[in-house]
Amino acid sequence: MMISFQPIIRACRETDIKLLEKYFSGDEENHRARLDRQKKGLSIYLIALIDSRPVGHLDIRWQGCKNEKVKNFVGECPELSAIAVRPNFRSKGIGTNLVKSAEKIVANERFEQVGIGVGIENERAKKLYERLGTRYLYRRLD
Ligand SMILES: CC(C)(COP(=O)(O)OP(=O)(O)OC[C@H]1O[C@@H](n2cnc3c(N)ncnc32)[C@H](O)[C@@H]1OP(=O)(O)O)[C@@H](O)C(=O)NCCC(=O)NCCS
């Protein structure tokens, strides 16, 4: 049986940081850094909430990939990064929902493409992006 979860997806706020640090341990220092970049207009840190608790996040970086070789190859476009869903909430459509929400925001800003970096061995994430129509443009080895 398919049970769909309809999280609220919105930009991160100052008051979300404590809960993000609690529920996404191992990534504690990054939530604050992403919110700081959002405040500077460099990104939008989207979070997915169920029952007012964060279950997923995704960072839209307007300046694109930090790697110059990738940037030169794919051209100017924002990058979706830091995509994660808490283990207990996976396979419920939340990752898909986060990526689609981000794509809408990017399209509203008149960008025609968006980049996503994915590890070669990350089968789960690759499957998700392929299902959403991602094309592979650049293979980076570092
Ligand atoms: C990759 C990741 C973000 C995917 O998030 P997710 O919420 O599980 O993604 P979705 O639920 O949208 O899609 C995953 C699968 O669930 C299935 N699914 C979606 N909605 C569903 C539902 N309502 N019921 C059952 N299955 C469902 C999808 O068909 C998909 O199946 P597939 O793997 O066969 O394609 C998550 O696995 C994760 O956080 N991984 C660790 C961090 C990571 O690797 N991030 C990516 C870095 S590039």
Q: What is the pLDDT of residues 97-142, one digit of tens each?
A: 999 999 999 999 999 899 998 998 999 999 999 999 888 887 877 6
- Give 3's pLDDT tier (boundaries 50, 70, 90): low
What domain count does the chain have?
1
Q: In which domain, by residue range, is 30 found?
A: 8-131
Phi/psi region, residue 88 (left: phi>0; alpha: psi -120 to 50; beta: rest), is: alpha
Q: How far is the CA of 92 from the centre of ligand 1 (A)?
A: 7
Instruction: Point out which residues pair with 54 in neighbouring strands.
Output: 49
Model confidence at 72: pLDDT above 90: no
67: CATH: 3.40.630.30
Looking at the predicted structure, is the pLDDT value of residue 4 above 70? no
Ligand 1 in reach of 122 Cβ (< 6 A): yes
The answer to whether residue 2 is domain-embedded is no
Tell me which residue has its CA closest to atom 40 in ligand 1.
Answer: 84
Binning pLDDT at 50, 70 and 90, where does residue 2 land? low
Residue 107 domain flag = yes
> Is position 78 within any domain?
yes
In a domain? residue 93: yes
Atom of ligand 1 nearest to the CA of 125: 1
Residue 138 domain-assigned (yes or no): no
Residue that wins the pLDDT comparison between 54 and 133: 54
Q: Identify which of 6, 55, 92 to mutate to test ligand 1's pocket (most ligand atoms within 8 A of the CB).
A: 92
User: Cβ(6) to ligand 1 under 6 A?
Assistant: no
The pLDDT > 90 percentage for the chain reads: 73
Domain assignment present for residue 136? The answer is: no
Ligand 1 binding pocket includes 85 (Cβ within 6 Å): yes
User: What does the alpha-carbon distance between residue 19 and residue 3 come to, in Å, rounded to a whole number?
Assistant: 25
Considering the domain boundaries, does residue 75 fall inside one?
yes
Q: In what order do the strands lie in the sheet with 115-116?
A: 8-11, 43-50, 53-61, 79-85, 115-116
Which residue matches tokens 């898909």? 96
What spacing in Å lies between the alpha carbon of 40 and ligand 1's midpoint?
Answer: 30
Band of residue 55 on the pLDDT scale cut at 50, 70, 90: very high
Split at pLDDT 50, 70, 90, the class of 10 is: very high
Q: Which residues pair with 114 in a beta bridge?
A: none
List Cα–Cα distances, 37 to 50, 59, 60, 63, 68, in angstroms.
Answer: 24, 10, 10, 11, 20
**Residue 32 falls inside a structural domain:** yes
Q: Which of 76, 42, 43, 77 is nearest to 59 (CA)?
A: 43
Answer yes or no: is the C-beta of 127 below 6 A from any ligand 1 atom: yes
In this predicted structure, the answer to whether residue 51 has a pLDDT above a threshold of 90 is yes
Is the confidence at residue 86, as pLDDT, over 90? yes
Mean pLDDT for the stretch of residues 56-64: 96
Point out the ligand 1 atom lying closest to the alpha carbon of residue 119: 48
Report whether pLDDT(74) > 90.
no
pLDDT at residue number 29: 82
SS3 79: strand
